[in-house]
Amino acid sequence: MSQGIVINSLSFARETGSLQGDLPIASLTRIQDKLVDSAGCLSYRVVGGVGSRNRPQLMLQLDGVLSVCCQRCLEGIDYPLEVRSLLEFVDDEDDLTQEEIEDDSRDFLPAQGEIDIVALIEDEIILNLPSAPRHESCALPETVQGTGKISPFSMLKDVRVKAE
């Protein structure tokens, strides 16, 4: 389980609360299977506010570098994470106008009292990570063009050596 940071979203928004700090990447349990390395920290900032129709809002800011797994060579890729999200809580999704649904500057969530900021941060990271990250060019022999003499078996051997 992640260590939670629980706030009451309604009073936090009304009182324009703010929270910031650093979270060890290793503590974000729900994203570990997408990472090659969980060293380091992410910095976060959450600011409360009230939106246009008196709805509670949270502005969420995340910065850090995540080591995601290249889908071709399985080595790490440093992925700079930079999230700026505006989350607005609605009592009833049917209240949303078409214009609001199409508004990309905000995301709508069902209204809830207590929310766990760490869970929210994990959700945002999962939404923002590339689904199939790849190096622009991997350091595998197969990317060497022109020789045409590399057998698939020698490539496999190289992968094994790398993995050890």
Quote the least distance from Cβ 142 to Zn ion, whole Å. 11
Quote the least distance from Cβ 150 to Zn ion, whole Å. 17
Exactly one of 19, 41, 135, 158 binds Zn ion (CB under 5 A); that residue is: 135
Alpha carbons within 13 angstroms on the beta-carbon side of residue 3 total: 6
Interface positions, 58-87, toward Zn ion (CB under 5 A): 70, 72-73
**SS3 of 60, please?**
strand
- Our CA dihedral for 160, 139, 26, 66, rounded to 10 degrees, sits at -160
- Shorter beta-carbon distance to Zn ion: residue 137 or 151: 137
- Shorter beta-carbon distance to Zn ion: residue 65 or 138: 138
> Do 4 and 116 touch, CB atoms closer than 8 A?
yes
Give the footprint of Zn ion on this chain (CB under 5 A).
70, 72-73, 135, 138
